[in-house]
Structure 1
């Protein structure tokens, strides 16, 4: 087993990969264009919810592994806890994930529990990993275990491959230019960070272009959202803010949110997560394209990655 690995990317996928590789006995260096607090991962609601990620079978496996890992991550200061979450579904939805959860952690919602606009929904007990607490916790854990961090921008795959004998590419949307990946594209999300509300957390992703959710966290809540394909606009759109607020009202929430911040992020969307060795640079392993489910599957991907590298 080669003991030296460099992970490129400091979002949730990069950090979990780095930590799992450390736990598996590798010496790990982390390189990224930006620190963790400037990544897409720092902006999101970060609840366990398989949203816009493929392929389905692999996603369900990774999500299940991550769910179990999150059970061990619930500690003071990590920002990880399990909360009840209402998720809408239709006859066409992928609901395989419900059969992967531990017994007693998911059930069908009653008609009284279902927000307006949903026909059917599940209530499940799922992990919430608050990015403003969890990302710094993971980074500090990585450094405390002997990890090294270097801020550096890489422009080509050749440059990335030259970093180490084994390199893990966790650059998210940055992989589009780095790998000339035509399949990878942005899915623009705009969200509102608000004062905490006395409302059950829920998500309705059953209608393309009509994404609506609210996630209550320790000190605030996240209300969303948008799911615009191939939209590179990182500027705040006031029309989207109105749209998000109107969708919240139409779901039956009468309380007026007190908006603290409007946030825009670009999810790395792909027809399938790229999880493989590069065909040209055999020392490079790609782990990107997780769509809107980075926090949902990152630990699962990291676990499988560590197993693959340990067998080399």
Structure 2
């Protein structure tokens, strides 16, 4: 059987590993930390193309992912489809709305717009709750015969020596691993709160003014921040206040959210997703730099990558 090693156990690494298994590969998954410790475990995980380039490829990957999430609609794995209001302007990427199934997206009525939002779409999109979905994926990977090894890879040379085919899904870790000067953190601070009786939405049209609520099955995630080149992983009280003030200004609820947890994560931001074979180590394929849209495009990237590997291994 054809063999591949995937490095990284976040949403990108797990979906890549499973897609390769489904295409007939024997897959080993190696990561510095298990999925519970990755950025993927911290996020709201709504399907929304946020801070990711290039747009054309993003929309394609997001569409493939949307269809794949339909196949994962299982009561116990955290996947559901929910209404989501997304603000937009004349310069926003709205092409993704044309790729959604008929009847699942429309322009919001003026009466449905939160305060300060002038235009928005309401669409039915996937939500994949990380604390349920990531364990589901990991169990599926191991049930399919996958092997996990907890190990830190410190160089491209070491990465390339792991197997005849290797996929680099190390997210922000690829900055040091690949000496990637384009890759940088986009710091996000969020609040995990008790579930609120409000609509899920995102206002991301203005830089440094990100605001959103994602209602999940037992809680909600309120955000957030989008600070470029910020490596700070500490909880900042000033950011918590900022997030709460923005939510209050939106006017969706008269009551203050009941905070359960404050969380910081560093999104792997790049001018464009690195989705290519390495120019020097020809057996290494890079799949990282998905910004704030990892759950949105993960399956799409994984499906395309697995098909590419199947073609390559047939020669």
Q: CA deviation at 1:286?
A: 0.1
Local SS of the residue matching 2:111: coil
Q: Structure 1 segments of 4 or more deviating over 3 A?
A: none
Q: Which runs of 5+ in 1 are unaligned?
A: none
Matches within 5 A, 1:213-232: 213-232=212-231
- TM-fit CA distance, 1:113: 1.0
- Secondary structure at 1:112's aligned position in 2? helix
Q: CA deviation at 1:69?
A: 0.4
Q: Deviations over 1:80-107 (max 9, x none)?
A: 0000000000011010000010000100
Q: What is the rounded CA distance, in whole Å, between the counterparts of 1:255 and 1:62 in structure 2? A: 38
CA positional deviation for 1:171 = 0.1
User: What is the alpha-carbon distance in structure 1 between the residues aligned to residue 111 and residue 168 of structure 2?
Assistant: 45
TM-score, length-normalised on structure 1? 0.99
DSSP-derived class of the 1:255 partner? coil
Shift of 1:255: 2.2
Please provide the CA RMSD for this pair.
0.6
The residue that corresponds to 2:239 in the other structure is 240
| Residues matched between the structures, number | 311
Paired residue secondary structure (2:152): coil
* 1:275 matched residue in structure 2: 275
1:310 match = 310
C-alpha separation in 2, matches of 1:77 and 1:255? 31
Unaligned runs of 5+ in 2: none
Q: Return 247-256 or 147-156, whichever deviates more.
A: 247-256
Q: Deviations over 1:104-123 (max 9, x none)?
A: 01000011111111010000
Q: Check if 1:86 corresponds to 2:85.
A: yes
The answer to which of 252-261 and 4-13 deviates more is: 252-261
Cα shift at 1:256: 1.1
- Report deviation, 1:138: 0.2
Q: 1: distance between equivalents of 2:150 and 2:305?
A: 23
Matched residues in 2 for 1:189 and 1:256: separation? 21
Question: Which whole-Å CA distance do the structure 1 matches of 2:116 and 2:15 have between them?
Answer: 36
**1:263 partner SS:** strand
Report the equivalent of 1:290: 290
